[in-house]
Amino acid sequence: MASVRFERVTKQYDNGYVAVKDLNLEICDREFLVLVGPSGCGKTTSLRMLAGLESISSGNLYIDERPVNELPPKDRDIAMVFQSYALYPHMSVFDNMAFSLELQGISKADIQTRVQQAAQQLGIETLLERKPKQLSGGQRQRVAVGRAIVRNPSAFLMDEPLSNLDAKLRVQARAELNKLHKRLGTTFIYVTHDQVEAMTMGSRIAIMNQGILQQVDTPQTIYEKPNNIFVAGFLGSPSMNFLNATIQHHNDQLTIKTDSFSFPLARSQDSISHYIDRPVILGIRPESIHHPNYLPPGITPTDIKAEVSVVERMGHELIVYATLTDDSEIVSRLDPRATIVPGETIALQLDSHRIHLFDCDSEQTI
């Protein structure tokens, strides 16, 4: 078992490009932490520095409070699962899983026991004599994980291991990795660009952008209380709607006003008094917009008149793209029973208690 700590870690390449900047991040023992963000955000570089595959330009890295900046990868007691699986094509599944143990000089009997136990955990005990070319993508992924398990590492590092699987198999593999984490009771650090993987797998998620850590918290907390516009827009599919707005004050009531609609603001005046009569960004998640015939209980609705442009029927919901009266685009997730056709004008209902406000200049949450 292992805890991990990044202390002001920076990675700058010789050409001046900064891949990771001043990263401070603590990962608890036995935690399943997911590093997530768009391509080029620094998440894989962070993982590779932890693995010892990339040098650190500045800062310190600790595994169980032991500094590992200069420690070779083989001495860090970690195992890494790559996106490509990197299986030896000429070796059987058994030999692929046993290879690292043979290099360590472990006895044949112990190797046999470890490989068999890992294979049973992953449901691949009947595949041990096959070669990688005889396996499906999902089976190869399990072998790659099994090769890491047999080493009994203190931490597993996983770099987008499900990217090569089809959509159905990815859902199954996500569940299997979650179960595996609970069985092994080991620290998992998982890198992905897929927000669904991040939300469903991590006990906490760390969101990165342009080499900078944006927010670390539980998936639900980040979804409901994003720190800034980037985090708010990155999590959620379809992503959050952003509209230009102003906060106005009249007769002791704060109002949020856009060019298309306005509504009373249910917030403490003291907390946002310095934003009165200033432009702000209004954030609305698609699921906070409803069809007037299918309003959930307990909301305070506000009319939004919009002309429907596209309707995507997903079976369990409708994804509706529409244009407001000021030509702003808005996306909503509606009840599948609603009857909507492109070209019609509809009075959608916004849940005014589930909005987000952001500073126009800093893009931070207000």
For 36-55, what is each residue's pLDDT tens digit?
999 999 999 999 999 999 99
What is the per-residue pLDDT for 172? 85
> Is the pLDDT assigned to residue 271 strictly greater than 80?
no
- Give the C-alpha separation, 106 to 118, whole Å: 16
Topology of the domain covering 241-359: OB fold (Dihydrolipoamide Acetyltransferase, E2P) (2.40.50)
Cβ neighbours of residue 174 closer than 8 Å, sequence gap 6 or more? 162, 197, 200, 201
Within this chain, domains 4-234 and 241-359 share the same CATH topology: no
- Specify whether the CB–CB gap between 253 and 269 falls below 8 A: no
What is the per-residue pLDDT for 1? 66
Secondary structure (DSSP) of 205-242: EEEEETTEEEEEE-HHHHHHS-SBHHHHHHSSSSPPEE
- Give the C-alpha separation, 184 to 97, whole Å: 17
> Is the pLDDT assigned to residue 351 strictly greater than 80?
yes
> Is the pLDDT assigned to residue 59 strictly greater than 80?
yes
The residue to which tokens 């955990």 are assigned: 121
Exposure string for 223-257, b = 16+ CB within 10 A, e = fewer: beebbbbbbbebbbeeebbbbebbbeeeeeebbbe
- Give the C-alpha separation, 23 to 45, whole Å: 11
363 or 173: which carries more pLDDT confidence? 363
**Average pLDDT, integer, range 72-82:** 91
- Give the C-alpha separation, 284 to 297, whole Å: 19
CATH architecture observed for domain 4-234: 3-Layer(aba) Sandwich (3.40)
Sheet with 32-36: strands ordered across: 78-81, 155-159, 187-192, 32-36, 204-209, 212-217
Q: How many residues in total does the chain contain?
A: 366
For 125-157, what is each residue's pLDDT tens digit?
999 999 999 998 889 988 998 999 898 899 999
> Is the pLDDT assigned to residue 337 strictly greater than 70?
yes
Structure tokens given for 217: 């918290």
- Give residue limits of the domains in the chain: 4-234, 241-359
Cβ neighbours of residue 122 closer than 8 Å, sequence gap 6 or more? 142, 143, 145, 146, 149, 176, 180
- Specify whether the CB–CB gap between 358 and 281 falls below 8 A: yes
Instruction: Give Dmax (Cα) for the chain.
Output: 82
> Is the pLDDT assigned to residue 223 strictly greater than 70?
yes
What is the per-residue pLDDT for 269? 65
- Specify whether the CB–CB gap between 151 and 97 falls below 8 A: no
Containing H/E element for 327? none
- Specify whether the CB–CB gap between 71 and 52 falls below 8 A: yes
Tell me which DSSP letter residue 365 carries. B
Cβ neighbours of residue 23 closer than 8 Å, sequence gap 6 or more? 6, 8, 9, 10, 42, 46, 59, 213
What is the per-residue pLDDT for 84? 81
pTM of the model: 0.89
Q: What percent of the chain has pLDDT over 70?
A: 99
Positive or negative CA dihedral for 100, 106, 111, 115?
negative
Closest Cα to residue 249, out of 272, 224, 227? Answer: 272
